[in-house]
Structure 1
Amino acid sequence: MNLESQIETKAKEIHTDGYPMSIGEVLSLYRDGDIDIHPEFQRIFRWNDDQKSSLIESILLGIPIPPIFVSQRGDGIWDVIDGVQRLSTIFQFVGVYKDHNDQVMPPLTLSATEYLPALAGYSWEVSSEPGKVFTDAMRRDVKRAKLEFRIIRKESDENAKYDLFQRLNSGTQLSPQEARNCLLVMLNSQMYTRIAELSESLEVRATIPLTEQKESQAYRQELVLRFFCQADYSGTRTQLREEYGQYLTRWMRKAAGLYGTDASPIDVSLFTRTFSILNEVLGEDAFRRFDGARTLGPFSIACFEFVTSGVSANIEFWEGNKNLLADRIRSVWSAPEFRDHSGTGISPRLRVPRLILNSRQYFSTAS
């Protein structure tokens, strides 16, 4: 198929509309449940009050705001793909925004901005400072201000909104896993909730000590996702056809479609059994380097891949031989099955398949 044919074919798969809407109209959509901004995103996106105040400043001054991208679901509800923070800021300022527990959040009190320093202390209707409330005229101006919307219509290819989300958020301040989390919320919010719960379990936190930076980037949730992806791996030792991050995202999208069915690769029981035994025998040393005498250094992702893949694949054996597991894990660091495929010069595309397959065999016995 030549380029012109490809363009024509793909263009027919995505149907879009674009038009401006007043903030008052958007508020009505939100109150009626006709637009879903996924409050779970509030755990992922991190706008501070200064950033929120700058948005309100832009609305008041008529400064252009980037378009809001939404996707129309089969039931007609709009899923927000890009613009969650902009909309949630507006809804919080007006005092109608509900969090992921369906509780109305405290209204936003503005801070001073570059062009409107007098905004400091102002709120929409109620303020702790006398005279720091928007007038009726100011509220009307805000509600009449326009936001530009780009809508992917429901007859578009079902993957269009997810592809668009990834493109719009590539290169943003989101970490790779934070972007995946947003995608997973849209794909299957129940799977997202379960992954988040598992990442905060006592056993996981005990065996995976992370730096504050890694914690803030949802890295522990990525590791939970990696566990299930590894356990589901049925490929060969050859390198993956794409970068590992892309591979993990693609696998997650497939798993989200199967979650809740008998074919789901998310085996929570296997996960909890694996981390329970790892925490019992080694705790925070489970994924740290062993030099023959002691454990040292930070958490090792290669060790995580090797140990969790091998132990989970042979979980019944190790539950019956717990007293031998600590020595088996420590021996990994001198084993060619691990050492020869986990060096710094080996890319994840090549490392991951080899470590998964090697580990399943390595942990099939105690020696």
Structure 2
Amino acid sequence: MTSLDKEIEQHKKEIHSDSYPMSIGEAVSMYINGEMDIHPEFQRVYRWTLPQKSKFIESILLGIPIPSFFVAQREDGVWDLVDGLQRFSTILSFMGELKNEDGEKLPPLALTKGGYLSELDGATWNDEEKISKPLKLSFRREKIDFKIIKKESTSDTKYDLFRRLNTGGSELSDQEVRNCLLLMTNREFYEWVIALSKNADFIETTPLSDDKYSEQYNLELLMRFIVFFTLDWSNVTSSTIDDIGEFLNDKIVALAKNTSFDTKIMNDTFSKSFQLINAALGSDAFRKFYPSDNKHKGGFSIALFEAISTGIARNISSISTTLDNSTLKKKIENFSVSPEFLSASGSGVRANSRIPKTVPHAIDYFKQ
């Protein structure tokens, strides 16, 4: 047996799976009875259009095969739906059974015409002129396949499955996947992050486009801040980070699982840091500074954000008591043109090469 054979055998022992086909009617009954959790809060991050939903329902009506649904079995026996959320939500919505986060039923989905069936236009589940009783029975009896990750699997399997199925060619952005991972891990932690993102000083110093907000990039910035603030930078190298998206996923989920993580201290540090940054430079805080013109130009810089926000936060006690707004403004501007920062953050430098240099430099630079 080769080393690879042994490694495969070991990891196979960590994953216990099964396959189970059932009718749509049975699956919907599981949802109604609380035996399947589709995480209604996830619906905020899925963006299927009405034509996409209609074509999916059309596929089922025509008997066109659809991909499997992936579920993870919890300790209480309930299935967590971790892939196929939009598809199953569309089925529930069409049948008038989809509930919002408050447990209230949402209005049934009214279809538009499909790629083949023009008569679907305006059809609803209770429209007997278009959706006849025999057609309803046929729809309920249509088989769908569930791949089940059993509760005997290791605790991280569910999160890893969701991440693997929803990254790389996914309709979700990296941050939207990260949001879902947090919701699956610790909903209270996720809601804390959302509340933190509404801080006025944070919003003022991170001016983002509507597209960036729609992709939840503001939450990615916030999670970078939280993760970078808590890291032991003496152990961080470019190989440690490798892929920044995966690195953030692992670290933020670990914090969400950490029962000793003090959100109150983080709240206080975050608020004080961005209050000082905003007072010093406002929306220019993370834009490139040009000494020759004595002004900031260009758009928001992720490299400046990572370094400056972490550097100030890690030294917040001394900075808040020793530096006035004018002095902090000059210190931030001088940092942005320092040789150490510029050499490590130039054009074409990857995040995993940049971050282990710029952030520790900032932490040392802002010491008082």
Task: Verify: 1:37 aligned to 2:32, yes or no.
Answer: no
1:322, distance to aligned residue in structure 2 (A) = 3.3
1:23–1:147 contact (8 Å) kept in structure 2: yes
Residue 300 and residue 46 in structure 1: after superposition, are their counterparts in 2 closer, same or farther (change >3 A)?
same
1:122–1:134 contact (8 Å) kept in structure 2: yes
- 2:223 corresponding residue in structure 1: 225
1:102, distance to aligned residue in structure 2 (A) = 3.0
2:119–2:130 contact (8 Å) kept in structure 1: no
1:165, distance to aligned residue in structure 2 (A) = 1.5
Match among 167, 170, 173 for residue 171 of structure 2: 173
1:240–1:353 contact (8 Å) kept in structure 2: no
* Letter of the 1:165 counterpart: F
- 2:354 corresponding residue in structure 1: 351
1:59–1:142 contact (8 Å) kept in structure 2: yes
Deviations 1:128-179 (CA, angstroms, capped at 9, x unpaired)? xxx6552222222211111110000000111212222222122212211111
Task: Verify: 1:114 aligned to 2:104, yes or no.
Answer: no
- 1:256 corresponding residue in structure 2: 256
Q: What is the correspondence of 1:1-367 to structure 2 with a 5 Å cutoff?
A: 2-125=3-126, 134-171=131-168, 172-236=170-234, 238-241=237-240, 242-258=242-258, 260-262=259-261, 267-292=266-291, 293-320=294-321, 321-323=323-325, 324-365=327-368
CA distance in 1, matches of 2:202, 2:145: 43
1:250, distance to aligned residue in structure 2 (A) = 1.4
CA distance in 2, matches of 1:319, 1:109: 56
Deviations 1:301-346 (CA, angstroms, capped at 9, x unpaired)? 1100111011101112232323221121111222123222211233
1:228–1:266 contact (8 Å) kept in structure 2: no
Residue 360 and residue 265 in structure 1: after superposition, are their counterparts in 2 closer, same or farther (change >3 A)?
farther
1:199, distance to aligned residue in structure 2 (A) = 2.2
1:234, distance to aligned residue in structure 2 (A) = 0.7
1:235, distance to aligned residue in structure 2 (A) = 2.9
Deviations 1:42-64 (CA, angstroms, capped at 9, x unpaired)? 11111111111111111111110
CA distance in 1, matches of 2:63, 2:317: 64
What secondary structure does 2:233 align onto? coil
2:120–2:130 contact (8 Å) kept in structure 1: no
User: TM-score, structure 1 length as denominator?
Assistant: 0.93
Residue 56 and residue 299 in structure 1: after superposition, are their counterparts in 2 closer, same or farther (change >3 A)?
same
Residue 7 and residue 140 in structure 1: after superposition, are their counterparts in 2 closer, same or farther (change >3 A)?
same
Unaligned runs of 5+ in 1: none
Deviations 1:31-81 (CA, angstroms, capped at 9, x unpaired)? 111111111211111111111111111111111010000000111111111
What is the root-mean-square deviation in Å for CA atoms of aligned residues? 1.9
2:37–2:79 contact (8 Å) kept in structure 1: yes
1:227, distance to aligned residue in structure 2 (A) = 0.2
1:123–1:132 contact (8 Å) kept in structure 2: no
CA distance in 2, matches of 1:228, 1:322: 25
Residue 280 and residue 133 in structure 1: after superposition, are their counterparts in 2 closer, same or farther (change >3 A)?
farther
CA distance in 2, matches of 1:35, 1:335: 55
1:314–1:363 contact (8 Å) kept in structure 2: yes
CA distance in 1, matches of 2:263, 2:232: 15
1:280, distance to aligned residue in structure 2 (A) = 2.4
Q: Give me the identity figure in percent.
A: 41
Unaligned runs of 5+ in 2: none
CA distance in 1, matches of 2:109, 2:337: 56
